[in-house]
Amino acid sequence: MMATILILESNTPDMVANGQAASGGFVQSFAALAPEAGVKILNPYARAFSAKELEGVTGVVFTGAGVAWSTDAAEAAPLRRWMEGVLKAGLPVWGSCNGMQLAAVVLGGAVGASPNGFEVGVARKVQLTEAGAAHAMLAGRRNGFAVPCIHRDEVQRLPKGAELLAGNAHSPVQAFVYEQGGARVWATQYHPELAAAGIAAYLRSKGIFSLHQALAEDLEQAETCEDSAARLGTSRQALSLQARSTELANWLQMLRQD
């Protein structure tokens, strides 16, 4: 039974005040995919970790972020403290992009800037590993799928005990799970919670992704214009809520069954 999902906003309060809340895509997706779920949003950059905030929580989301620093940097210490506390509590975790990198660092892996540069717009030709093809998180996915993404950093060494579920030519780690010692982390480098227009909003904002604004118009039109979707290397159908949110819907189903 699903009660309340805690969303931990990983952009700073100043960014949120300027309209750059990374939690928005999750709020919208959960309203469509799990209207029965309650949602609570906290910002680790403004709220120190407290186990009391986890009372009544069924699962915890760590969002993506448009901050300039990596998840292993000193500036990200508040996020790491929350991840540590949530894992200690044994709550199921979802991590998108920055959230996946955060989980990797806290669990003993390593992150860094991709040698292939930024991956912006759509992660293309994502391939399932053998473990990925069998795992509930990727149920419904087939080799070669495409999904909204935007990132500079990537996981460059998985934590010991993590399972690699998917990767592509740009970033070998596009999805992993960690299910050991009472922890259950499902995470993707891409953004199943974001519509293509949500990626465009990052590009049009001031920040580390603004140099890629040329893609914004196609991203804003891709869900209704097949030509725009094709220029991004995908299709309208792949960018629909039902298709692009596959992993997130599977995570919600797991919460219902717990």
Q: CATH number for the domain including 94?
A: 3.40.50.880
pLDDT recorded at residue 213:
78
What's the rounded Cα separation, in Å, for the pair 223 and 29? 15
Q: Which domain holds residue 153?
A: 4-257
pLDDT of 212 reads 76
Alpha carbon separation from 138 to 106, 118, 163, 175 (Å, rounded): 23, 24, 13, 9
CA 4 – CA 236 distance, rounded (Å): 32
Counting the structural domains of the chain, the total is 1
Report which of 254, 122, 85 is spatially closest to residue 186, judged by C-alpha positions.
254
Tokens linked to 212: 């890629």
Ranges of the chain whose pLDDT falls below 70:
1-2, 210
pLDDT at site 205: 77
Structure pTM?
0.95
Question: Can you give the pLDDT at residue 48?
Answer: 97
What pLDDT is recorded for position 1?
A: 59
Task: Determine the pLDDT at residue 258.
Answer: 82
Strand partners, 177: 163, 186
